């Protein structure tokens, strides 16, 4: 019993260093998650919030673009639906969530500014 087992002496030091090694090994995963959060998840959440605010602000008389690409004028707005007039005597109802773009009456779109002087 005079001799101590070298394995027993090494185990005590390895257990203390093992926690640090595990933390260092886990750091790349934390860094990758942080990068994904700031480059992908957070911007997408902000776009969803902006779209929801835009759709909630639609009012009668606004020009709207549906997800199907139909452009028309909002003639009646409820909590969940918008009645859109796409032409003379052409009216249909769409869900607010399917609207892609809303332009207030009187405002020109970015593409329209370039064509105003050419008419």
- Answer whether 0.75 is exceeded by the pTM: no
Q: Report the Cα 86 to chain-centroid distance in Å.
A: 29
Q: Distance between CA atoms of 23 and 34, rounded to whole angstroms?
A: 16
Residue 36, beta-bridge partner list:
none
Within a 10 A sphere around the Cβ of 53, how many other Cβ atoms?
9
CATH topology of domain 57-104: SH3 type barrels. (2.30.30)
Rg (C-alpha) for the chain, rounded Å, is: 30
Q: Distance between CA atoms of 109 and 32, rounded to whole angstroms?
A: 39
Predicted confidence at residue 66, as pLDDT, reads: 93
Going from N- to C-terminal start, the domains of the chain cover: 57-104
Percent of the chain with pLDDT over 90: 64
């Amino acid at each position: 019993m005079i001799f101590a087992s070298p394995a027993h002496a090494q185990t005590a030091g390895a257990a203390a260093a093992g926690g640090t090694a595990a933390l260092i090994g886990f750091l790349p995963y934390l860094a990758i998650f942080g990068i994904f959060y700031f480059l992908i998840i957070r911007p997408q959440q902000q776009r969803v919030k902006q779209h929801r605010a835009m759709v909630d602000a639609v009012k009668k008389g606004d020009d709207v673009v549906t997800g199907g690409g139909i452009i028309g004028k909002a003639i009646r707005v409820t909590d969940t639906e918008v009645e859109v007039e796409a032409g003379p005597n052409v009216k249909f109802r769409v869900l607010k969530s399917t609207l892609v773009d809303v332009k207030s009456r009187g405002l020109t779109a970015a593409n329209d500014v370039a064509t105003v002087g050419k008419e």
